[in-house]
Structure 1
Amino acid sequence: MSIQNVLIIDDEPDIRELLEITLGRMRLHTRSAGTVREAKRLLGNEPFDLCLTDMRLPDGDGIELVEHIQAYYPELPVAVITAYGSMDSAVQALKSGAFDFVSKPVDLNILRDLVGSALKLGKPGDGEGNDAASTRHQPPREEHLLGDAPAMRQLKATILKLARSQAPVYILGESGSGKERVAREIHRQGPRVDRPFVPVNCGAIPAELMESEFFGHLKGSFTGAVADKQGLFQAAQGGTLFLDEVAELPLHMQVKLLRAIQERAIKPIGAAHEIALDVRILSASHKDLSREVQAGRFRQDLFYRLNVIELRVPPLRERREDLPHLASHILSRLAQRWQEPPRRLSPDAMQGLMTYDYPGNVRELENILERAATLCDSDIIRVEDLQLPSAVTPPAPLAGEPLKPLEQQLEQQERQVLLTALEQAGGHGATAARLLGLTARQLSYRLKKLGLPP
């Protein structure tokens, strides 16, 4: 196995020497430069597996080098070294394409973890330089996201790029569109694949338990703490923490999450010392976080930390050409689970699927097909077996009939929509909430407000 080559760029000789000694002990070969000009010369003459650069240099800055490497050596991971507390600079570097960052004074354990993760990405060249074209002959990755519509091809290409970074990613998409699956794919294709992927639904944790769930606690730290408890951040150490429905976090928890992200450390309840974190944060919501910020329900500073890169997952109606493949895959998976031959869709059933709008996206498609496969009388699913819901439209008032007050009309329409969703979900509240793009807590509140049974 050839020795891997790391380029160190810093104008302080003491820092360069510290980094060279640390990486040398990791059996890595290092070259160093003190200026942007010298770094560009070395990059043009030698192949490298990783670049570490300070943000402030005599003839430029680290952002300039990150952008240069992105333009000419896109497969080369580059990490920046920032001054303590300079999160804005770190975020700017991540937006420009940096793999990750480390703050001064450099924590050598964090540095070693960063270097190890970056080098797991692998070097694309064959000894003739960092040419991205050399990756063309590598075997294709296993397919985990189905679909070949233009929107899905773009999504997969973006995921491949994001997997090579440690930047926080905010995944925006409608309920049921596959946000967690996208998050898992970013994790699976990245250097943390052999470490935990920990998903958490922020809307499902009671507010009074959130701090303990996220950060853990020590035995005896509060009434009922009968044993030490590991938090979600600790469970994800070295891997990825996926915060689903992050918009549901209460404001007091948003403050604590922001500090954990900025300091890269947590303190369990009752602990005397902080625990250093090596966790990549991915988050998602079906809500528009920027609107939540404007409404005062979400902290702007936390939004900027989570939304370093925004990734939109297309709804199913924007990739209808994928429906035949998705439907076939879902029916085959059901047949395997039930250990029987797969059902097939009749032409009229397929046409019905192609013309429906799927407010619940892929999750709703799965529910529709599972119900149809269960209830149909043969191995052919017909359009009537799908029981596709029709749009709910309020009855128009008769000519001359006085209009009801607006609030009363809206409540009547909301009641009808909720009842229709519960009917489609077979009375299952959590499923109805997903169809409507609500949390279970929000659905329960609306049902109670309108006097409907939960």
Structure 2
Amino acid sequence: MTTPASILLVDDDADLLRLMTMRLTAAGHAVQAVSSAEAALAHLAVRLPSLIITDVRLPGLDGLALFDEVRASHPSLPVILLTAHGNIPDAVEATTRGAHAYLTKPFDGKELLAKINQALVVNAPGPAPAGGDGAWRGEIISRSPRMAEVLSEARLVAATDASVLITGDSGTGKELLARAIHKASPRAAKPFIAVNCGAIPEALLESELFGHVKGAFTGAQGHRQGLIPAAQGGTVFLDEIGDMPLALQVKLLRVLQERIVRPVGSNEALPVDVRVLSATHRDLELAMAEGQFRPDLYYRLNVVKLRLPPLSERREDIALLAQHFLTTLAGRHRKPVRGFAPDALEALVTAPWPGNARQLYNVVEQVCVLATAPLVPLAQVQRALQMPAADVLNYQHAKQRFEREYLNQLLKLTSGHVAEAARLADRNRTEFYRLMQKHGLDPQLFRTDPLTAASASGDKKLSDESST
């Protein structure tokens, strides 16, 4: 069962607070309602919610000051502002500083729920175990149900000595999962040694894995212990096992079957006690069919198979990972950046990520190094992703852009006559006025009389500023 999101409501209007609490509770959220910013700060000191919704105008400390306090202490905690028309400029400014959104009173209930769901998907902080029972997987930042299933199976198999084959696209964190399995296993106090079979030249891989004796080959000036014997009592992680040459696959199979290692050039076999975890992004069953991978080795390695989902299948984790990477990198590069602007974070969450978490790390490092403000803006993320602005529009933004352009065209066509424009749009005049107000459009600006248009230009500028 999914844990309900916890929402902190802040408003001094008791009736509105009661109505919103009922509506959000009915939508499946856990709601805590308070009537002042001071009470909200006291609540935050005890328990962090998933989202804060606050009125801008409050007695004592106002909603904008509350937002500033939240942004300073909890930069990834989303805040939605509720504002009257007179406070729109302040609310707009707050969104440029990191508020997730603002809604104008009276607001539509469906729009509020849409903003809440969007904020929870994109911004909501999630737990990242860092101690106690979660210490074994502390490096894996996730709140995705898909990852939870993988980690649950990993925890079960960790208690055994079974060989595990970890599959998944490049950059999904296969070595991190292997390390987590080792940490949760009875071998945790012994060495964990990772070997990338695809990165070591074929001529050297056997020597690297099994070791060699002096004079075994040109350049072998002394005895060298292999990586498998060096992991005695612990775990060996063979990454990109699908790239291992066939001749070496036979020797590895012998290690797994007989628990002995024969160094290159030696007649003596050494007993080894290691657990073997392996990983690949290749389709090993296809490789077997093509004669590039030995079936007997495959079945030895594949006692348990764990598949890591790509980042595109665990989008709940993108905001968590991005903030985690940013915090780490900001300290390393001595940058004052604390978080992402809401639209920048949304761009990260909706990006395709063919390179998975490794690509995300690189993008975050780039924006961190170039950051000049506490919040990373959208333009910087788009540049790092090398995508035009249109590519990162979500459905809601695309719909709003179309709506505004459509209304513009109708008003131009009818020279600002609202009744005629509403008739062409097949909408009643009241609804059409509401749509114009939503997008800050003034019909006066579309009238053919230049003096009328000039007198209304100042009002349009204010409307445009308040609608951005």
Q: TM-score per shorter chain, which class?
A: 0.5 to 0.7
**2:362 is matched with which residue?**
367
Aligned equivalents of 2:224, 2:322: Cα separation in 1: 42
- After TM superposition, the structure 1 = structure 2 runs for residues 297-316 of structure 1, keeping only pairs within 5 Å, are 297-316=292-311
Decide which of 267, 270, 282 is 1:272's aligned counterpart.
Answer: 267
**1:399 is matched with which residue?**
none
Instruction: Give the partner amino acid of 2:273.
Output: D
Instruction: Give the partner amino acid of 2:330.
Output: A
**2:134 is matched with which residue?**
141
Asked if 2 retains the 8 angstrom alpha-carbon contact of 1:316 and 1:358, the reply is: yes
Instruction: Give the partner amino acid of 2:134.
Output: R
Aligned equivalents of 2:227, 2:377: Cα separation in 1: 45
Q: Cα deviations across residues 241-279 of structure 1 (Å, max 9, x unaligned)?
A: 000001111111111111111111011122222111100
The sequence identity of aligned pairs, in percent, is 46
Q: Cα deviations across residues 194-247 of structure 1 (Å, max 9, x unaligned)?
A: 111000000111111122111111112222211101111111111100000011
- After TM superposition, the structure 1 = structure 2 runs for residues 374-453 of structure 1, keeping only pairs within 5 Å, are 374-386=369-381, 387=383, 388-390=385-387
**1:253 is matched with which residue?**
248
When residues 343 and 310 of structure 1 are mapped into structure 2, their CA distance, relative to the original with a 3 A threshold, is same
TM-score under structure 2 length normalisation:
0.53
Asked if 2 retains the 8 angstrom alpha-carbon contact of 1:343 and 1:373, the reply is: no
Give SS of 2:198's match: helix
Asked if 1 retains the 8 angstrom alpha-carbon contact of 2:337 and 2:373, the reply is: no
Decide which of 183, 186, 192 is 1:197's aligned counterpart.
Answer: 192
**1:296 is matched with which residue?**
291
**1:153 is matched with which residue?**
148
Give SS of 1:377's match: coil
TM-aligned CA deviation for residue 171 of structure 1:
0.1
| 1:228 to 2:229 alignment | no
**1:69 is matched with which residue?**
none
Aligned equivalents of 2:272, 2:285: Cα separation in 1: 27
Give SS of 1:175's match: coil
Aligned equivalents of 1:381, 1:139: Cα separation in 2: 33
Aligned equivalents of 2:251, 2:363: Cα separation in 1: 40
TM-aligned CA deviation for residue 389 of structure 1:
3.4
Aligned equivalents of 2:215, 2:319: Cα separation in 1: 56
Aligned equivalents of 1:343, 1:368: Cα separation in 2: 16
TM-aligned CA deviation for residue 289 of structure 1:
1.0
- After TM superposition, the structure 1 = structure 2 runs for residues 332-347 of structure 1, keeping only pairs within 5 Å, are 332-347=327-342
TM-aligned CA deviation for residue 335 of structure 1:
1.7
Tell me which structure has the larger Cα radius of gyration.
2
Instruction: Give the partner amino acid of 1:284.
Output: A
Decide which of 192, 211, 226 is 1:216's aligned counterpart.
Answer: 211
Which sits farther off after the overlay, 373-382 or 143-152? 373-382
TM-score under structure 1 length normalisation:
0.54
- After TM superposition, the structure 1 = structure 2 runs for residues 154-173 of structure 1, keeping only pairs within 5 Å, are 154-173=149-168
Give SS of 1:349's match: helix
Unpaired segments ≥5 residues, structure 2: 1-130, 389-468
TM-aligned CA deviation for residue 382 of structure 1:
1.5
When residues 390 and 301 of structure 1 are mapped into structure 2, their CA distance, relative to the original with a 3 A threshold, is farther
Q: Which runs of 4+ in 1 moved over 4 A?
A: none
Unpaired segments ≥5 residues, structure 1: 1-137, 392-454
Instruction: Give the partner amino acid of 1:224.
Output: G
Number of residue pairs the alignment of both structures matches? 254
Give SS of 1:342's match: coil
TM-aligned CA deviation for residue 341 of structure 1:
2.8
Aligned equivalents of 2:261, 2:132: Cα separation in 1: 40
- After TM superposition, the structure 1 = structure 2 runs for residues 75-114 of structure 1, keeping only pairs within 5 Å, are none
Give SS of 2:314's match: helix
Give SS of 1:141's match: helix
Give SS of 2:286's match: helix
Q: Cα deviations across residues 15-55 of structure 1 (Å, max 9, x unaligned)?
A: xxxxxxxxxxxxxxxxxxxxxxxxxxxxxxxxxxxxxxxxx
Instruction: Give the partner amino acid of 1:145.
Output: I
Asked if 2 retains the 8 angstrom alpha-carbon contact of 1:199 and 1:242, the reply is: yes
Instruction: Give the partner amino acid of 2:188.
Output: V
Output the aligned Cα RMSD: 1.6
TM-aligned CA deviation for residue 184 of structure 1:
0.1
TM-aligned CA deviation for residue 145 of structure 1:
1.4
Aligned equivalents of 1:241, 1:274: Cα separation in 2: 18
Give SS of 2:212's match: coil
**1:327 is matched with which residue?**
322
TM-aligned CA deviation for residue 282 of structure 1:
0.3
TM-aligned CA deviation for residue 139 of structure 1:
4.6
Aligned equivalents of 2:200, 2:133: Cα separation in 1: 39
Give SS of 1:171's match: strand
| 1:184 to 2:179 alignment | yes
Aligned equivalents of 2:333, 2:257: Cα separation in 1: 48
